[in-house]
């Protein structure tokens, strides 16, 4: 997302960001239901891959503390991490504790290892790193050894150690296996990639998740920044504002959120301006599938 700063400036989004409301005042974020129990989540969350992997760097941690506090202040809750993400779990947990944010956060992480015993040990470590007694959502990362881990997740859910369980992936080559698990196993969440540059999951997985009553978290909503490269040098169309978009990032996110199967998208960010830009995509009524086609044309798809 190296060109995102240029896009924010060129589309005059920054003045709008400064006017975003403080905690619980003004316009509120759109929410969608978790099918299994009806709980509602804000439709824009926060990913931590790369961005929160800062180790003991005090300056970087202070900046991320401001980002996380602002995220919660704007009504955000879903923050997603993984043992795969270096120090991200520990940084997220430390900052949430330091700023008193645990009660407002819906923390999601993953198990990412081979073997039942190793999986249990890794999940115990995630609890320690995140500094919480219970994890809202535990996911099997990229389906690694899922047949060993899923029974453990079910046991932990029954014991109240996790609230929800799910699976994740990010590549189309794995969609066949993802679909098979989704069809045969009872899950609460699926996390999958879905963006203007990666639309394949909408062909079968998104409708199947909706049919199976599974909440859907979208990773890679900017296709790791490739969407910004796609529109590099282009001004945001003036008519985009009518669909609630004041920047390319908001257009990309609102395109993703237009699909009714999507519960939440989790763009990663370590910059306040980017975070606020992302969160603004969830203000006001969300577009539908008809508007999604218009947004795609605006972006050149």
Q: Which residue segments constitute the domains of the chain, with CATH numbers given?
A: 41-234+261-286 (3.20.20.100)
Determine the Cα–Cα distance for residues 281 and 301; give it in Å rounded to an integer.
20
Contacts of 278 (CB under 8 A, 6+ apart): 44, 249, 250, 253, 267, 269
Give the three-class secondary structure for 196: coil
**Residues 91, 94, 98, 100: what is their CA dihedral angle, to the nearest 10 degrees?**
100
CB atoms within 10 A of CB 209: 24
Distance CA 265, CA 259 (A): 11
Residues 75 and 106: their CA atoms lie apart, in Å, by: 11
* Total Cβ atoms within 10 A of residue 147: 11
DSSP secondary structure string, 8-52? Answer: HHHTTHHHHHHTS--TT-SS-B-EEE-TTT--EEESB-EE-TTTT
pTM, to two decimals: 0.92
Report how far residue 94's alpha carbon sits from residue 78's, in angstroms, rounded to the nearest whole number.
16
pLDDT of residue 17: 45
Q: Do the strands 106-111 and 135-140 form a parallel or antiparallel pair, or are they unpaired?
A: parallel
CA–CA gap between residue 268 and residue 274 (Å, rounded): 9
Per-position pLDDT tens, the chain of length 301: 445 554 454 444 444 444 455 544 556 899 999 999 999 999 999 999 999 999 999 999 999 999 999 999 999 999 999 999 999 999 999 999 999 999 999 999 999 999 999 999 999 999 999 999 999 999 999 999 999 999 999 999 999 999 999 999 999 999 999 999 999 999 999 999 999 999 999 999 999 999 999 999 999 999 999 999 999 999 999 999 999 999 999 999 999 999 999 999 999 999 999 999 999 999 989 999 999 999 999 999 9
pLDDT of residue 7: 47
Please give the pLDDT value at position 26: 56
Say what the pLDDT of residue 10 is: 42
């Amino acid at each position: 997302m190296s060109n995102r700063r240029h896009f924010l400036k060129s589309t005059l989004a920054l003045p709008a960001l400064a006017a975003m409301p403080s905690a619980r005042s003004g316009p509120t974020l759109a929410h969608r239901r978790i099918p299994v129990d009806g709980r509602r989540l804000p439709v824009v969350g926060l990913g931590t891959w790369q961005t929160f992997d800062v180790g003991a760097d005090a300056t970087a941690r202070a900046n991320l503390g401001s980002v996380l506090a602002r995220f919660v202040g704007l009504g955000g809750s879903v923050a997603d991490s993984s043992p795969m993400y270096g120090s991200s779990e520990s940084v997220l947990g430390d900052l949430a504790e330091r700023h008193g944010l645990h009660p407002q956060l819906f923390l999601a992480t993953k198990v990412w290892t081979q073997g039942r015993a190793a999986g249990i040990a890794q999940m115990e470590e995630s609890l320690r790193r995140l500094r919480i007694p219970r994890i809202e959502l535990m996911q099997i990362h990229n389906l690694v050894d899922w047949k060993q881990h899923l029974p453990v997740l079910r046991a932990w859910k029954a014991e109240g150690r996790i609230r929800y369980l799910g699976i994740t992936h990010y590549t189309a080559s794995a969609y066949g296996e993802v679909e098979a698990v989704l069809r045969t196993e009872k899950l609460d969440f699926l996390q999958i990639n879905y963006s203007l540059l990666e639309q394949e999951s909408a062909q079968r997985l998104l409708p199947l998740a909706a049919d199976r009553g599974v909440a859907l978290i979208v990773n890679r909503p900017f296709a790791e920044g490739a969407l910004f490269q796609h529109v590099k040098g282009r001004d945001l169309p003036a008519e985009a504002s009518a669909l609630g978009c004041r920047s390319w990032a908001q257009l990309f996110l609102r395109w993703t959120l237009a699909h009714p199967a999507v519960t939440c998208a989790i763009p990663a960010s370590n910059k306040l301006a980017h975070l606020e830009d992302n969160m603004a995509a969830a203000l006001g009524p969300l577009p539908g599938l008809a508007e999604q086609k218009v947004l795609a044309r605006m972006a050149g798809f």
